[in-house]
């Protein structure tokens, strides 16, 4: 089918929930993708920061084929080897002692919210309130849109679950003022992605951790977007010198297959006993086998170092562009999660880049988001920024 034919069918039969670009992608290789009409694009969006190792990475493809030849799915009423290997790897390389496996970032955050509340009921004097940051994004389920600090995603879905309040991101004093006798946890992103690539002060997480310790609160880090190497270390919290009590992952964990994870310490895990939570497809054998392969590639093949080097180069090149373009107000980010704030709407720039062969995204209406696969090469960054340069001159 052509782009036009695929789009016509989607428009006829799918809920119109997404502002889709008028192309249908049918093939990918590394940082490049092709649409149904054969046009090639550089993918600097990585399919919503999911394609962490690019498209059709040989290790991911091999894991899919080998696991599919064995068994696709194993009920959580039985054990599976890929699930065991993934849980062991995640715990070995993080602060955590226990893992809950699910299908998405929203499910992981839902599990984190439930675990915090269960722990509060059993060991926190009945405290249940969770504080989250303004501008945050934590998912699309009814609890996670309530946790999300953006009113626009909650409109029309009231009444919402009780027990969520919001504080200004990157403001420790405001967070402390928001703490009440009912508060059990603080839930934040180490860097706000959907909120406009907002980078906090270098000591922000350390000070939030200190507040949580002082008031007996749990610290939940939403690393759905920042985890799995996106900021140059396996998890973003490693750069702050602290550890959370709960952490959530998704997106890059499966490098293209749907998987999420909620990690916690043994201290909290005592509240998630048999029957407290669950998932039919969570921990699926195929997706776990892929995630094990992704972990190995990230840790053993220099991908994290490449993310740091190419991220520095990308920001440096963008700042050079800023010197020549009055339309760029700011360049910010860490690793390969980079934002370019414009002086006006970003959507027309995104569209023009796509026409020129570059896929990027706009968040917070005027912040261009550059999040290429972590394997991106310098020459691909140069090609991408040549396109951006031409578009901004138009």
Catalytic sites, residue numbers: 137, 222, 251
Burial 136-168 (b: 16+ CB within 10 A, else e): bbbbeeebbbbbbbbeebbeeeeeeeebbebbe
By the 8 A CB rule, do 265 and 31 touch? no
Whole-angstrom distance, CA of residue 261 vs CA of residue 318: 33
For the beta carbon of residue 296, count every other beta carbon within 10 angstroms. 14
For the beta carbon of residue 216, count every other beta carbon within 10 angstroms. 11
Cα-Cα end-to-end distance for the chain? 33
Phi first, then psi, for residue 250 (nearest 5°) are -170, -130
For the beta carbon of residue 284, count every other beta carbon within 10 angstroms. 28
Whole-angstrom distance, CA of residue 227 vs CA of residue 247: 9
User: SS3 for 383?
Assistant: helix
By the 8 A CB rule, do 167 and 131 touch? yes
DSSP secondary structure letter of residue 30? B
By the 8 A CB rule, do 337 and 165 touch? no
Greatest distance between any 2 Cα atoms in the chain = 61
Neighbouring residues of 5: CB distance < 8 A, sequence distance ≥ 6? 36
Q: What angle do CA 118, 120, 125 make, to 5 degrees?
A: 135
Query: Which of 265, 255, 262 lies closest to 292, judged by CA?
Result: 255
Question: Number of helices (H) and strands (E), helices first, in the chain?
Answer: 13, 15
């Amino acid at each position: 089918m052509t782009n036009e034919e695929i789009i016509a069918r989607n428009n006829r039969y799918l809920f119109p929930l997404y502002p889709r670009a008028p192309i249908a992608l049918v093939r990918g290789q590394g940082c490049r993708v092709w649409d149904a009409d054969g046009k090639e694009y550089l993918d600097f969006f990585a399919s919503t920061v999911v394609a962490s190792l690019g498209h059709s990475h040989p290790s991911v493809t091999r894991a899919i084929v080998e696991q599919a030849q064995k068994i696709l799915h194993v009920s959580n009423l039985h054990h599976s080897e890929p699930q065991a290997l993934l849980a062991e790897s995640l715990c070995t390389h993080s602060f955590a002692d226990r893992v809950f496996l699910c299908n998405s970032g929203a499910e992981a955050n839902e599990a984190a919210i439930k675990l915090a509340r269960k722990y509060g009921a059993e060991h926190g004097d009945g405290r249940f309130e969770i504080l989250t940051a303004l501008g945050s994004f934590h998912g699309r389920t009814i609890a996670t849109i309530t946790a999300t600090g953006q009113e626009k995603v909650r409109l029309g879905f009231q009444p919402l679950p009780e027990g969520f309040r919001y504080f200004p991101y990157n403001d420790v004093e405001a967070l402390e003022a928001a703490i009440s006798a009912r508060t059990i946890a603080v839930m934040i992103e180490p860097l706000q992605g959907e909120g406009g690539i907002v980078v906090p002060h270098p000591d922000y997480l350390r000070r939030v951790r200190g507040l949580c310790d002082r008031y007996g609160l749990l610290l939940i880090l939403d690393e759905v977007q920042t985890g799995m190497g996106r900021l140059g270390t396996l998890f973003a919290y490693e750069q702050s010198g602290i550890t959370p009590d709960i952490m959530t992952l998704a997106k890059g964990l499966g490098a293209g297959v749907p998987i999420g994870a909620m990690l916690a310490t043994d201290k909290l895990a005592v509240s998630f006993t048999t029957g407290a939570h669950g998932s039919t497809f969570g921990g699926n054998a195929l997706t776990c086998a892929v995630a094990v392969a992704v972990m190995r590639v990230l840790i053993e093949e220099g991908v994290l170092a490449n993310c740091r080097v190419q991220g520095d180069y990308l920001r440096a090149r963008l700042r050079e562009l800023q010197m020549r373009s009055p339309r760029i107000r700011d360049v910010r980010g860490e690793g390969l999660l980079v934002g370019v704030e414009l002086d006006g709407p970003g959507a027309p720039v995104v569209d023009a880049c796509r026409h020129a062969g570059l896929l990027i995204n706009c968040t917070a209406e005027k912040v261009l988001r550059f999040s290429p696969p972590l394997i991106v090469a310098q020459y691909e960054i140069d090609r991408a920024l040549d396109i951006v340069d031409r578009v901004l001159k138009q």
